[in-house]
Amino acid sequence: MGLLSRKVTCNSHGQDSSYFLGWQEYEKNPYDEVKNPKGIIQMGLAENQLSFDLLESWLAKNPEAASFKRDGQSIFKELALFQDYHGLPAFKKALVDFMSEIRGNKVTFDTNNIVLTAGATSANETLMFCLAEKGDAFLLPTPYYPGFDRDLKWRTGAEIVPIVCSSSNGFKITESALEEAYQEAQRRNLRVKGVLVTNPSNPLGTTMTRTELDLLVNFISDKEIHLISDEIYAGTVFSSPAFISIMEVLKDRKLESSQVWERVHVVYSLSKDLGLPGFRVGAIYSNDPIVVAAATKMSSFGLVSSQTQFLLSAMLSDKKFTKEYLSKNHKRLQKRQNKLVSGLEKAGVSCLESNAGLFCWVDMRHLLSSNTFEAEMELWKRIVYDVKLNISPGSSCHCTEPGWFRVCFANMSEDTLKLAMQRLKSFVSSITINNQSHQELKNTRRKNRNKWVFRLSFQSFHDREQEER
């Protein structure tokens, strides 16, 4: 007799994925500039560490918000007792205003339609509980955030069917890919309940084009299904093209009174845009009052601490601060992304052109020993264990083409990034020489050239390998 539930013994929590295994390795041997300079550099964590000074200086200037005070009065007791799942009104107001500001004020959000949750993790799971059950599926474009397997499927019983995107068109969503995914779900006897997209995309770092967004709206209208738009990276768009929210598209197409309006839901969070993942601030925004009502009740299982709501309501209500923060943060992200891209270039590695996010989608296909996922894993293991960089293999993001890796750039100092790029450059050079010398060796044996020259270069590759370790 099984003493525990099937959820305990199955693997749907997704933590046996390489995405998480890489972290475990990092934890065993983390890089530290002083204490562990040969350790593994964490490049698998999509954190934004570039703008804490801005947050800290705001805190220094606003001591009341920090110490449970408002207008000189202590409101500790009121906060300690406040467990209303409708959330602190002042915080919701500040949050919807912030969301609007990020979207260039082209759309506004109603506080009555927002539900606060413990992080986007909780928001996504809650929405899934509201919209789907066992036997249902959501379509997701690949590659996608590995955590979705846990958040959307584990406890809900729902399934994910991939919308396969390919490098041939920059991984954009196409009509045929959508249709193919829908058919696949039907073949698997699954009822398609909706599509979930991440815009800006994790792991691609790109914003969705208007064409793609229009395509999605048409598709969900036609199939009469839901659309969840996970926009947690909306505030990280640092260069053109400008971010277009799904809400903006609906507004532009004057669909507010249509049926599709109530089937579009947005997920938000302050973990990426404000760099506050520890505070567990997530939100569901929906135009369907029934979804809002159900999600609100479910949020009981993961409310946002009132202490945190209060602090952030003060911070986000400070419009001068939010304006400055968003602007400076964008500049810093752009600068840092440029550094990563140029560092990669020097190493002979390219990446998908991106304008958002805290990472780049890096093309290492040319470094694979074969066009297979086994080769991708081989390469990944060498990068983690030998080059000592924790990056995320594309297979963990369900990419259908081997050789792509997500590499984060905003969670470390500039010096650490520089070092990471140097390590990568050395590694790539050594592989290239190795490949070259192997190739030449083959040529020699065929053409009968002077062997001693090439034996020498093969030798020197081995020597170099010893140094890397």
**Which active-site residues does the annotation give?**
145, 230, 232, 272
Residues with Cβ within 8 Å of residue 315, at least 6 apart in sequence: 55, 58, 62, 65, 94, 321
Nearer to another protein (CB atom), residue 82 or residue 458:
82
- Name 393's bridge partners: 405
Count other Cβ atoms within 10 Å, centred on residue 284.
Answer: 27
Q: How far apart are the first and last CA of the chain?
A: 49
Nearer to another protein (CB atom), residue 97 or residue 376:
97
Nearer to another protein (CB atom), residue 160 or residue 298:
298
Element (H, E) at 351: strand 350-351
Give min distance, CB of 289 to another protein, in A.
12
| Sign of the alpha-carbon torsion through 183, 197, 278, 94 | negative
Give min distance, CB of 77 to another protein, in A.
4
Of 283, 276, 268, 272, the closest CA to residue 308 belongs to: 276
Q: Two tokens at 262? A: 């109530």
- The Cα–Cα gap between 300 and 304 comes to 9
Nearer to another protein (CB atom), residue 68 or residue 405:
68
Give min distance, CB of 11 to another protein, in A.
11
Nearer to another protein (CB atom), residue 273 or residue 401:
273
- The Cα–Cα gap between 8 and 30 comes to 29
Give min distance, CB of 34 to another protein, in A.
17
CB 394 within 8 A of CB 143: yes
- Name 73's bridge partners: 70
Q: Two tokens at 112? A: 């009555």
Nearer to another protein (CB atom), residue 28 or residue 446:
28
Q: Please, where are the H alpha helices in 37-108?
A: 52-61, 63-66, 76-81, 89-102
- The Cα–Cα gap between 236 and 227 comes to 22
